[in-house]
Each structure stands twice: as C-alpha cells, then as structure tokens.
C-alpha cells in the first residue's frame, strides 16, 4: 500500500492538551480502514520550532514557509520507505508527525537523520509497536466535542460557498438518535424546556432498533457564531440521555 492508494480528507482542529494550546491536523478519511492496514508500527517524527511564541504553537511567517517546505520533503521521503502519513500535532514548541509502517527502525532513523542534515531544524524519532493504531485514535482523532466543532465549520463553509447571508436569522433543524424510547422521551422533555420544539421521532434501522428524533429551535438565530455553544450543549445532553446528537441543517439564504 502507498499514499496514492489512500483517500485523503484533512481536518484541522484546536484543543487543549494538559493545559497547553494544541493544533491537530489528521486524515479523517482513513478512519474506516486504518485498523485493516497491515502496518504494525507507528513512527513519530518531532520537529523543534525555532521561535514558537508564548503559546508554543505560533510560527513566524518566515519559519512557517521553512517548516512547510521541510514537512513536504519529510512526507515524500518517508513515503519512499513505505511510511503512511496520518497527521500532525503542534504543541509546546514542537511539531509531531505520525506515520504507519512496517519498515525497520534503523532504516527510518537513517532516513530522518539524512533529512535533518539537509535542513536547519532538529528532528527526533520515536518508533513503536502499534497494532491497535493508538497514535491515530488516542492522539490525532478528535473527541466527540472536537469533531462536532469540525462538522459545524464544514456546514458553515458549505453555506459560505453558496453565498449565504450567515447573519440572517433562520430556523435550524437538528437530528439525534436513541436506542430506547424512554431515553428519547426524556430528551424531548429537556428540549421543550430549553426553547426547542420536537417535530417527530420514528423507528429506523434495518430492524427498527433505533429512534430518530427531529427537532428545531423555536427562535430563529443568525450563523455562525452561536452554533458551537448550541451544538456542544445538544451533544452533551443527548449523551446524558444515552443518545447521539447527529448534527444540524439550515436552508440557504442568499438575499
């Protein structure tokens, strides 16, 4: 397998890791296939930022250009020795690049050392047996909360592409799923007390084993500034009632 055979969908998100500002970019498209890859090892390459700024994640304009050029060299060179790049973490003055591979450690260390010798940056490696893809799932892949923020932004971006008037108030429709009718009823009670109106809930699934709940806000709101607090609250409350909040939609308003 090589990178040309792997679908790519790169997502970027911000989070706080042990009290430190952190930015993560990862390939979301591999989530359904990564556990089936034949690679048993992860390789992390650490790049030390020269001028990280007070928050440990900022780069000057000049350094950003240098690091992005080096990043592309690193990804291309590692692909040549059968390493699949899946994401990058920026935090505490470092960038951590994660790859999956079966290539032996000494070959990879030699390859990274050569790249380092041809650059102005310090690179270090960590090679680990990782059959469960812990580096991807535990460090790169977002939490449900972070993923919700990413998905909200994708919807907003799609509206922007259609020249939507984001600040124009409108009805927002939402979906959630539950396994138990009692849970969906309890969630509906909470919705009605928090300015939402329940439209319907119906049994869905191949064996009708889930309940799909449709609801909307009783007050029209502008986009996008107010969406994240709303969707995060819905995510947390649905989880409290053993359900899954599935997201929102809104009609496009162009004038």
Q: Is 190 helix (H, G, I), strand (E, B) or coil?
A: helix
Pair (27, 125) in one structural domain? yes
Residues of the chain with pLDDT under 70: 1-4, 207, 224-225
Q: Is 165 helix (H, G, I), strand (E, B) or coil?
A: coil
Q: Count the domains in the chain.
A: 2
- Alpha-carbon 219 to chain mean position: 30
Pair (16, 103) in one structural domain? yes
Give residue 1's pLDDT: 44
Give residue 225's pLDDT: 64
Q: Is the dihedral of CA 225, 229, 234, 236 positive or negative?
A: positive
Residues 6+ apart with CB under 8 A from 152: 224, 227, 228, 231, 248
Give residue 4's pLDDT: 45
Residues 6+ apart with CB under 8 A from 209: 179, 203
Contacts 24+ apart (CB under 8 A), 221-225: 221/169, 221/170, 221/172, 222/166, 222/167, 222/168, 222/169, 223/156, 223/159, 223/164, 223/166, 223/167, 223/170, 223/250, 224/152, 224/153, 224/156, 224/166
Tell me if 213 is assigned to some domain.
Answer: yes
pTM: 0.86
Alpha helices in 19-143 (DSSP H): 61-80, 105-117, 134
Pair (132, 8) in one structural domain? yes
Choose the final residue of a domain: 104, 122, 140: 140
Q: What is the CATH number of the domain that holds 115?
A: 3.30.70.1110
Q: Token match 């107010």: residue?
A: 226
Angle, helix 105-117 to helix 61-80, in steps of 10 degrees: 150
For the segment 52-110, what is each residue's pLDDT rounded down to a tens digit? 888 888 888 999 999 999 999 999 999 999 999 999 999 999 999 999 999 999 999 99
Tell me if 254 is assigned to some domain.
Answer: no
Give residue 40's pLDDT: 93
% helix, strand, coil for the chain, step of 5: 35, 30, 30
Question: Structural domain of residue 170, as residue ranges?
Answer: 144-249
DSSP-assigned beta bridge partners for residue 210? 204
Give residue 169's pLDDT: 86
Pair (94, 159) in one structural domain? no
């Amino acid at each position: 397998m090589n990178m040309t055979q792997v679908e790519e969908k790169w997502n970027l998100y911000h989070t706080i890791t042990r009290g430190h500002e952190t930015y993560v970019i990862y390939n979301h498209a591999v989530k359904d296939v990564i556990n089936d890859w034949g690679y048993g090892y992860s390789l992390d390459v650490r790049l030390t930022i020269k001028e990280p700024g007070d928050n440990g994640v900022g780069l000057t304009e000049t350094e950003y250009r240098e690091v992005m050029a080096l990043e592309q060299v690193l990804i291309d060179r590692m692909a040549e020795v059968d390493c699949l790049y899946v994401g990058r973490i920026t935090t505490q003055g470092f960038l951590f690049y994660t790859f999956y591979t079966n290539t032996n450690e000494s070959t990879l260390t030699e390859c990274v050392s050569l790249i380092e010798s041809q650059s102005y940056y310090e690179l270090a490696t960590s090679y680990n047996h990782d059959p469960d893809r812990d580096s991807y799932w535990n460090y790169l892949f977002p939490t449900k909360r972070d993923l919700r923020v990413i998905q909200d932004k994708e919807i907003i971006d799609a509206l922007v592409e259609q020249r939507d008037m984001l600040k124009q108030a409108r009805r927002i429709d939402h979906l959630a799923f539950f396994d138990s009718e009692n849970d969906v009823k309890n969630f509906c009670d909470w919705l009605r007390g928090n300015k939402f109106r329940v439209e319907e809930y119906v049994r869905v699934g191949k064996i009708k084993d889930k309940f799909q709940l449709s609801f909307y806000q009783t007050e029209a709101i502008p986009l996008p500034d107010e969406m994240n607090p709303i969707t995060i609250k819905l995510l947390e409350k649905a989880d409290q009632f053993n359900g899954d909040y599935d997201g929102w939609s809104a009609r496009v308003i162009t004038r």
